[in-house]
Amino acid sequence: MKKKEEKKEKELCRFRVGERDFTIIKYIKQGQKIPERVFKDEKRNIESKIWEGIASGVTQAEVIETKIAIFLLNQDVFEYDNKGWKRIKNVGKIAEYDWDSLGISLNGTTYFTPQELEKAILKSGKWSGSKFDLEKQNSQDFVQFCLKSIGSNMAMKKAFVDKTTISRK
């Protein structure tokens, strides 16, 4: 009975997963010239993996559908890229992300707080920028870690990354 009472005292937190195109992909889709600052920042992260994926059988259309994922717990956003993970407090849904494209499949509630998630991320020691890899450890993996950490059994699909891994086996 004590566990139920403890959970009642804790705040029920809402979580949600958002996604967006890589900025460089957004410019390609819109047929616009890629600004130098965007090109330099994202080129290192995705260029070799994208071309490696195409070479191993992933189509250009699948490459263009590659997404960056982000995790929202209450009003705090958790994200991961080549600079490492970060928590942005009290921002809510960031406009550049699509919070509805995944439907309700990655939305829910938990008693796990943003503070507890931050501690879990730090304790894991695996989300520094130097460990970022588009194929092996990326924003989708980070969101999956967040989902697992808060006790959710929901899974995020990683179509592009899975296909590139499978095609090289």
Nearest one of 53, 44, 54, 118 to 81, comparing CA atoms: 44
Task: Please spell the DSSP secondary structure of 44-112, one letter per residue.
Answer: HHHHHHHHHHHHTT--HHHHHT-EEEEEEETTEEEEEETTEEEEETT--S-TTSBSSTTGGGGEEEES-
Report the domain count for the chain.
Answer: 1
Average pLDDT over residues 121-126: 96
Q: Is residue 167 part of a domain?
A: no
Vertex 26 angle, CA 23 and 29, to 5°: 155
Distance CA 121, CA 142 (A): 9
Q: Is residue 63 part of a domain?
A: yes
Q: Is residue 168 part of a domain?
A: no
Q: Is residue 169 part of a domain?
A: no
Given a contact cutoff of 8 angstroms between Cβ atoms, the answer to whether 17 and 143 are in contact is yes
Q: Is residue 106 part of a domain?
A: yes
Q: Is residue 129 part of a domain?
A: yes
User: pLDDT grade, residue 13 (50/70/90)?
Assistant: very high
What is the predicted pLDDT for the residue at 160?
Answer: 37
User: pLDDT grade, residue 162 (50/70/90)?
Assistant: very low
What is the predicted pLDDT for the residue at 83?
Answer: 85
Q: Is residue 127 part of a domain?
A: yes
Given a contact cutoff of 8 angstroms between Cβ atoms, the answer to whether 24 and 50 are in contact is no
Q: pLDDT over 90 for what percent of the chain?
A: 36
List, for residues 93-118, the tens digit of each pLDDT value: 999 888 887 767 788 999 999 999 99
**CATH number (domain holding residue 70):** 3.90.1720
Q: Is residue 104 part of a domain?
A: yes
Question: What is the extent of the structural domain holding 17?
Answer: 2-162
Question: What's the N-to-C CA distance of the chain in angstroms?
Answer: 50
